[in-house]
């Protein structure tokens, strides 16, 4: 595995939200490519044994290009996609050209928590056409104030692409696995278990998940550990008066009590092959159910001075007085054109309980916790999001420019 042979790469991947990380192996005089993406994209790549790369045109410039979108086709019309803006003079551009121009190359896939879950030998089909297209492509110089515009333009073009555009995509075919891809990943680093409710057990994950609940909850805690110290996080807290679970996760500080409810689906072939309409329906159903559970937890908490809870770590008493209570509902994914409908159940909870609540999908939580690296920063960011949501009746999709917090 690449991360075993080159463990130093993990610190670099930790600064990358999603996308490509080419690596030149000097001694071997070759390039390998690391891809950081969602677990759904990784499993789709494994099932399809290929990914497709689109060179997105800059329609304001002749022969202009904005970058690559990498597509993972779980659905023909709305595949999972990864946007990679590219710029004139950037090493990423020249390194990617070097990677794809090789007869074959090693390709490694990592998830949001920098876990290597798939490694293959791959090759780009039609390398001559790729070389010709890239030789004539023109890229803009980087300007930080245009990044959001560029990403938006890329996504809009991809959403309106034609069959001709699909035929022009470059196909990266997988030739063979570099190691078995059906393994369990044990993470025994301290941040994987030094919180209440972990039971001192390592975090265990796999690419394919038939029962997502416990896997997802531990992954969410790993993301929240970027922001909160371990002793302020409580996994699966139960009410001591009834023995029922209060929430999936609580994060407790001197200023806030974050109440987290999460919903996920299995990560397997059957789930990925669902139609888009079925996926949308499942997401809306999860949000409706999760919003109801969040309402129940907030109604129980909001008028109390303290909470008596228990986890596998023991009994705990958490002070509620003088702390801002915030609800957070996390779902697997949301489609860009479905945010308004998805937002309604959670905004109803906000209005009924008078407690700020935020709706995020898994990728958004990943990005937010990368960039807002303290409880105070996270709280300010979440409150800005709820203000926007109340104004527009729709939760915003968070975007950040620049390196992650602490980099």
Q: For 20-72, write each residue's pLDDT tens digit.
A: 999 999 999 999 999 999 999 999 999 999 999 999 999 888 889 999 999 99
Q: Please tell me the distance from the alpha carbon of residue 82 to that of residue 53, in angstroms, as a whole number.
A: 9
Question: Stretch 256-283: mean pLDDT, rounded?
Answer: 87
User: How far apart, in Å, are the Cα atoms of 297 and each of 140, 282, 387?
Assistant: 50, 22, 22
Q: What local confidence, expressed as pLDDT, does residue 406 receive?
A: 65
Closest residue by Cα to residue 365 from 233, 239, 224 = 224
Task: Write out the H or E segment, with its range, that includes residue 13.
Answer: helix 9-13
Helix (H, G, I), strand (E, B) or coil at 88: coil
For residue 252, is pLDDT > 70? Answer: yes
CB 178, CB 121: distance < 8 Å: yes
Q: Where are the alpha helices (DSSP H) in 185-227?
A: 213-224
pLDDT digits (tens, 9 = 90+) for 261-274: 998 777 778 888 88
Q: 43 near 272, Cβ under 8 Å?
A: yes
Nearest to 196 by CA among 169, 225, 170, 232: 232
Domains and CATH numbers, the chain: 2-177 (no CATH), 185-392 (3.40.91)
CA distance 345 to 108: 39
**Cα distance between residue 344 and residue 375, in whole Å:** 27
pLDDT of residue 372: 96
Per-residue confidence band for 212, with pLDDT thresholds at 50, 70 and 90: low
The share of the chain scoring above pLDDT 90, in percent, equals 79
Residue of 356, 332, 348 whose CA lies nearest to 284: 332
SS3 assignment, position 285: helix
pLDDT, tens digit (0-9, with 9 covering 90-100), for 78-99: 899 999 999 999 999 999 999 9
Contact (CB, 8 A) for 137 and 66: no
What is the Cα 237 distance to its own chain's centre? 25
- Averaged confidence pLDDT in the chain: 93
The span from the CA of 168 to the CA of 174, in Å, is 19
- Beta-carbon count within 10 A of 288 CB: 15
> Could you tell me if 302 and 233 are in contact, meaning their C-beta atoms sit under 8 angstroms apart?
no
Burial of residue 178 (number of CB atoms within 10 Å: 0-12, 13-18, 19+): middle
């Amino acid at each position: 595995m690449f991360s075993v042979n080159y463990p130093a790469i993990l610190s670099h991947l930790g600064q990358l939200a999603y996308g490509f990380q080419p690596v030149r192996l000097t001694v071997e005089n070759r390039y390998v490519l690391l891809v950081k993406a969602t677990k759904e994209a990784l499993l789709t790549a494994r099932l399809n044994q290929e990914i497709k790369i689109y060179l997105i045109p800059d329609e304001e410039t002749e022969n202009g290009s904005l970058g690559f979108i990498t597509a993972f086709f779980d659905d023909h019309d709305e595949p999972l996609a990864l946007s990679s803006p590219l710029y004139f003079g950037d090493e990423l551009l020249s390194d990617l050209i070097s990677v794809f121009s090789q007869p074959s190359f090693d390709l490694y896939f990592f998830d949001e928590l920098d876990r290597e879950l798939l490694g293959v030998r791959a090759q780009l089909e039609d390398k001559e056409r790729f070389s010709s297209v890239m030789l004539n492509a023109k890229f803009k110089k980087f300007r930080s104030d245009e990044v959001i515009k560029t990403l938006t333009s890329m996504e809009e073009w991809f959403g309106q692409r034609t069959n001709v555009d699909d035929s022009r995509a470059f196909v990266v075919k997988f030739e063979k696995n570099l190691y078995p891809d059906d393994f369990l990943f044990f993470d025994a680093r301290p941040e994987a278990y030094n919180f209440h409710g972990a039971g001192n057990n390592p975090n265990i994950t796999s690419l394919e998940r038939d029962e997502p609940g416990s896997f997802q909850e531990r992954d969410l805690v790993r993301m929240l550990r970027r922001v909160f110290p371990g002793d302020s996080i409580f996994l699966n807290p139960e009410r001591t008066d009834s023995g029922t679970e209060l929430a999936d996760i609580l994060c407790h500080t001197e200023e806030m009590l974050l109440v987290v409810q999460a919903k996920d689906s299995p990560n397997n072939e059957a789930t990925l092959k669902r139609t888009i309409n079925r996926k949308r329906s499942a997401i809306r159903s999860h949000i409706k159910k999760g919003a109801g559970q969040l309402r129940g937890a907030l109604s129980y908490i909001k008028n109390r001075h303290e909470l008596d809870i228990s986890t596998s770590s023991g009994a705990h008493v958490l002070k509620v007085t003088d702390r801002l209570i915030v609800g957070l509902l996390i779902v697997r994914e949301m489609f860009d054109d479905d945010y308004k409908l998805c937002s309604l159940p959670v905004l109803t909870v906000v209005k009924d309980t008078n407690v700020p609540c935020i709706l995020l999908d898994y990728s958004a939580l990943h990005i937010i916790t990368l960039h807002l690296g303290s409880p105070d920063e996270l709280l300010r960011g979440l409150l800005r999001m709820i203000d926007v949501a109340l104004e527009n009746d729709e939760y915003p999709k968070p975007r950040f420019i620049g390196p992650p917090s602490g980099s």
